[in-house]
């Protein structure tokens, strides 16, 4: 029969599980928010880049347009590299946070389970026999009926 302290430990372990889930949800939502912001900024810069392109009217403008396009493409590659670096940082930070919380939660559960098993081990065979013998009259009464 579970004792009051063991039930409290089970309840606190369940509560710790819910808190861990909430922490993980917060981490995932924060990472999603950061990635969304990065994606919106990237889309805005690509739209701004696309809107600056005009068609040249003659040969001289074509040459200037070509040199501007090269500079613009270089800037686009730099922006794309920066975007990928930022996405990578968000992913690595999120992975690290999730691993840290998961490890902490696993340690808490292990500690709680060891404590509960320790309490169960303290129940001596005589205590268990006493519990069984207390339940025995009700079993014999059922057999007699």
Helices then strands, counting H and E runs in the chain, come out as 3, 0
Greater pLDDT, 100 or 136: 100
| CA–CA distances in Å: residue 23 to residues 11, 28, 80 | 18, 9, 31
Q: Which range is least confidently modeled, 11-20, 59-68, 119-128?
A: 119-128
Residue 1 confidence class, pLDDT cut points 50, 70, 90? very low
Tell me what the mean pLDDT of segment 83-103 comes to. 94
Average pLDDT along the chain: 80
The answer for residues whose C-beta is within 8 angstroms of residue 64's C-beta and 6 or more apart is 56
How much is the pLDDT for 130?
A: 65
Residue of 31 and 142 predicted with greater confidence: 31
Q: What is the pLDDT of residues 50-65, one digit of tens each?
A: 776 666 667 777 777 7
User: If pLDDT is split at 50, 70 and 90, which confidence band does 3 have?
Assistant: low
Give dist(CA 97, CA 25) in Å, integer: 11
Provide the whole-model pTM.
Answer: 0.62
Residue 6 has pLDDT above 90, yes or no: no
Distances in Å between the Cα of 2 and the Cα atoms of 63, 126, 135 are 85, 16, 15
Please report, for the chain, the start and end positions of each structural domain, with discontinuous segments joined by +.
Answer: 4-144
Q: How many Å apart are CA 18 and CA 27, to the nearest integer? A: 14
pLDDT value, residue 128? 57
Q: Are 10 and 105 in contact (CB under 8 A)?
A: no
């Amino acid at each position: 029969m579970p004792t009051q302290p063991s039930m409290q430990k089970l309840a606190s372990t369940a509560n710790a599980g819910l808190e861990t889930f909430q922490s993980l949800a917060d981490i995932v939502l924060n990472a999603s928010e950061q990635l969304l912001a990065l994606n919106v900024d990237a889309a805005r810069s690509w739209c701004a880049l696309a809107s600056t392109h005009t068609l040249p009217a003659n040969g001289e403008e074509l040459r200037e347009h070509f040199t501007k396009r090269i500079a613009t493409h270089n800037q686009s590659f730099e922006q794309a590299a920066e975007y990928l670096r930022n996405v990578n940082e968000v992913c690595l930070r999120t992975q690290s946070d999730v691993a840290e919380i998961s490890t902490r939660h696993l340690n808490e559960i292990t500690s709680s389970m060891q404590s509960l098993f320790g309490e169960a081990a303290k129940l001596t065979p005589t205590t268990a026999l006493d519990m069984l013998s207390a339940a025995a009259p009700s079993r014999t009464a059922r057999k007699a009926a």
